[in-house]
Amino acid sequence: MTDPIQSQIELYQSADGAITLGVRTDAESVWLSADQISELFGRDKSTISRHLRNLFADGELEREAVVAEFATTASDGKTYLVAHYDLDVVISVGYRVKSAEGVRFRQWATQVLRRYVLEGVALNEQRLTQIGRIVRVLARSTDELVSGVADVLSGYLPGLQTLRDYDDGTIVPPAGDAPTWTLSYSDARAVIDHVRAEFPDDHLFGRERGDALRGIVATVYQGFAGRDLYPTVQDKAANLLYLVVKDHPLSDGNKRSAAALFVHFLAHNGVLADDLGRPRITNNALAAITLMVAMSDPKEKDLMIALLMRMLAGEGS
């Protein structure tokens, strides 16, 4: 692992006060460098390094599961990636060097981790509340949604790590990209006509109801006091999909047209795929979220918009 975890520093002190270590901690374990293990057990680093090599060579522990690299500032002021070892490694080395300090360190680490678990309960309750709201929308679905549910939740869950107290339990949308292309009414009309060609027997498909479609395109680009109300590509795309689905600007084909406009808008603004060429939102997820929007209550608009934006952002934070 290469610094995959958000860590904090906890201070460990030996019973006699002779040893004080700044120990990296996270919700899963505590982490010490080889130098810190050497100091903890009062053995030179070469001895500790030998035991580390042996316990991995013996298959006692899997290196990939118990080693992480953290950015550490050295005495020369430069920052280096330094290997750190989790509690299982520390205990194993302590056993090999026959150090009583290993028992005390394990007891201390257990207390630290227990505190992390308790502190995590409140955050997890917040996350579960948000998930519950999504599930309630999904519960209104038919089997047509089932294949996309996993994609929707996998796109939503990474963003839950950044949840805090929000008014009415809403989700704060992530930052997005500045638009490089502008959707016009004629562009939207052309997309809908293209989709309509796929359904020649649906005579009501794409037939506009008044100027509603033109109004939606204008809404996506509306501003106030000289500022764009929907400043990012993700903002505009999410609201475009939502409004076409919920405002029913067409006699038929609103959901299909909304999904097509959503993809068209993202593609022309260069954000349909990530830097590796992978789609930011899968076909299943797009179908599922479009149906979720259709079934959502109007008061859930902010939740649906933010959910769409988080899926596009693909955040793991």
CATH code where residue 294 lies: 1.20.120.1870
- Looking at residue 168, its pLDDT comes to 41
Structural domains in the chain (count): 2
pLDDT score of 138:
47
Confidence of residue 50 (pLDDT cuts 50, 70, 90): very high
Tell me, yes or no, whether 163 and 305 share the same domain. Answer: yes
* Model confidence pLDDT, tens digit, residues 143-176: 444 444 444 444 444 433 433 333 344 455 567 8
Residue 129: pLDDT over 60: no
Q: Is residue 110 part of a domain?
A: yes
Let me know whether 239 and 305 are in one domain: yes
Q: How far apart are CA 9 and CA 23, in angstroms?
A: 5
Cα 285 to Cα 41, 288, 309: the distances in Å are 52, 5, 13
**Which tops the pLDDT comparison, 139 or 70?**
70
Place of tokens 């201390």: 108
Q: How far apart are CA 254 and CA 262, in angstroms?
A: 12
pLDDT higher than threshold 70 for residue 137: no
Residue 273 pLDDT exceeds 70: yes
Q: Is residue 304 part of a domain?
A: yes
pLDDT (0 to 100) of residue 136: 53
Same domain, 273 and 207: yes
Q: Which of 36-45, 169-178, 268-277, 302-311 has the highest mean pLDDT?
A: 36-45
Co-location of 92 and 145 in the same domain? no
Whether residues 87 and 192 fall in one domain:
no
DSSP strands (E only) in the chain: 8-13, 20-25, 30-33, 67-73, 79-85, 223-224, 227-228
Whether 127 is covered by a domain: the verdict is no
**How do strand 67-73 and strand 30-33 relate by DSSP bridges?**
unpaired
Enter the DSSP assignment of 77.
S
Classify residue 174: in a domain, yes or no. Answer: yes
Give the span between the Cα atoms of 24 and 70, in whole angstroms.
Answer: 9
Q: Kindly state whether residue 129 falls inside one of the protein's structural domains.
A: no
Distance set, CA 131 to CA 119, 144, 192, 296 (Å): 19, 20, 33, 14
Judgement on whether residues 86 and 161 belong to the same structural domain of the protein: no
Clarify whether residues 192 and 73 are in a common domain.
Answer: no
Give yes or no for residue 54 having a pLDDT over 80.
Answer: yes
In a domain, 53, yes or no: yes
Pick the residue with more confidence: 44 or 282?
A: 44
* 214 and 309 assigned to the same domain: yes
Write out the residue range of the structural domain in which residue 219 sits.
140-313
101/244 same-domain check: no
Shared-domain flag, residues 147 and 250: yes
Q: What is the pLDDT of residue 243?
A: 96
Query: In terms of domains, do 111 and 145 share one?
Result: no
Q: Which of 56-65, 115-124, 141-150, 214-223 has the lowest mean pLDDT?
A: 141-150
Task: Identify which has the larger pLDDT, 70 or 167.
Answer: 70
CB 42 within 8 A of CB 51: no
